[in-house]
Amino acid sequence: HSVGIVGAPFNRGQPRDGVESGPDLIRAAGLLQKLTQQGCAVKDYGNVTCDDVPADEPFGCVKNPRTVGRANEQLSHTVATVKREGKTCVVLGGDHSLAIGSIHGHASVQGQLGVVWVDAHADINTPLTTPTGNIHGQPMSYLIHELHSKVPVVPNFSWIKPCVSARDIVYIGLRDVDLGEHYILKHLGIKMFSITEVDRLGIAKVMEETCDHIFSQVQKPVHLSYDIDALDPTVCPATGTPVVGGLTYREGVYITEHICQTGLLSAVDMVEVNPKCGRTDHEVKSTVNAAVDLILGCFGRVREG
């Protein structure tokens, strides 16, 4: 595997300090060395700059729009560069608003994508449905063709062209979905496996059905957007919006092993690690180590050795 690492220390998509330390914490835990040890060719593209845009007043209830929009425009260019260099792109977050730039940049080079969104949340609120105004709960709404007419043009977001079709999306791990999001998911008929389905079917069947759905029409590059809060807070407590009853460590890793086996993984985001949300050093380490292990699973690490 040829891998490009991009740090996206974004924190303005949500209110909590600390998530901007995610990229360097994951690097410090030895991600690049471990990827190299398992046979990957790894290039580090450094961190995308994401300085605050001055006087970044809310747009309606959308918070920090200009800062988030500008940072994602930079990220989109960097991800596109990594893809043009023929590498699988790994974006380290930072909050989940980074998926706007990551998926946009990915699609700008690879065209039609399959998006697997692993998360306790759907992150599909529009600027008009969001209950908090936090953009990390909205990224998908800016990217989906079928929602284009429903999303107002937010300052510094006009560069974004919708690039994902509703039928090319699969959610895994949902357990905290807002009313407006649920309506959108149902109205667009987006495929989703909530934690209830994970329990009913088992993770192996979920992954089999995920791949059947995404590859039903045609094989396409896969964008895996992995929110660490998909895993249970007992495994990954150091995150900003924890929700009880999450995926086990084993289910989380199985997802990445299965996606790796398709041979179609083209980009992966690992987001929402926030060391300031861990009450002890052990809680931070547990969260960071899980994030590293999930990424290693994407690139061929198998637990049988």
Question: What residues are labeled active site?
Answer: 96, 119, 121, 123, 136, 227, 229, 272
Strand ranges for 48-97 from DSSP E? 88-93
Query: From the list 125, 225, 256, 266, which residue makes contact with ligand X8A (rule: CB under 6 A)?
Result: 125
Nearer to ligand X8A, 45 or 117 (CB): 117
User: Which of the listed partners (ligand X8A, Mn ion, none) does 125 bind, with a CB threshold of 5 to 8 Å by partner kind?
Assistant: ligand X8A
Nearer to ligand X8A, 82 or 273 (CB): 273
**Cα–Cα nearest to 193, from 222, 177, 173:** 173
* Residue indicated by tokens 């290693």: 296
Contact pattern from residue 228 through residue 267 relative to Mn ion, giving x for each residue in contact according to CB under 5 A and a dash for the rest: -x--------------------------------------
Cα 158 to Cα 207: distance, rounded to the nearest angstrom: 35
Does the footprint of ligand X8A cover residue 123 (CB under 6 A)?
A: yes
Which range, of 19-27, 221-229, 261-269, 278-286, touches Mn ion by CB under 5 A?
A: 221-229
DSSP code, position 121: S
Neighbours of 128 (CB within 10 A): 13
User: Which of the listed partners (ligand X8A, Mn ion, none) does 173 bind, with a CB threshold of 5 to 8 Å by partner kind?
Assistant: none
Tokens of 93: 């977050």
Contact 63, 124 (CB under 8 A): no
Cα 294 to Cα 99: distance, rounded to the nearest angstrom: 17
DSSP 197-249: HHHHH-HHHHHHHHHHHHTSS----EEEEEEGGGB-TTT--SBSS--SS-B-H
Nearer to ligand X8A, 11 or 76 (CB): 11
Does the footprint of Mn ion cover residue 123 (CB under 5 A)?
A: yes
Using DSSP's 3-state secondary structure scheme, residue 141 falls into helix
Does the footprint of Mn ion cover residue 96 (CB under 5 A)?
A: yes
Residue type, 90: V
Contact pattern from residue 50 through residue 89 relative to ligand X8A, giving x for each residue in contact according to CB under 6 A and a dash for the rest: ----------------------------------------
Query: From the list 251, 272, 283, 293, which residue makes contact with ligand X8A (rule: CB under 6 A)?
Result: 272
Tokens of 246: 């999450």
Cα 64 to Cα 50: distance, rounded to the nearest angstrom: 12
| Interface residues toward Mn ion, by CB under 5 A | 96, 119-121, 123, 227, 229
| Interface residues toward ligand X8A, by CB under 6 A | 96, 119, 121, 123, 125, 130-132, 134, 136-137, 176, 178, 227, 229, 241, 272
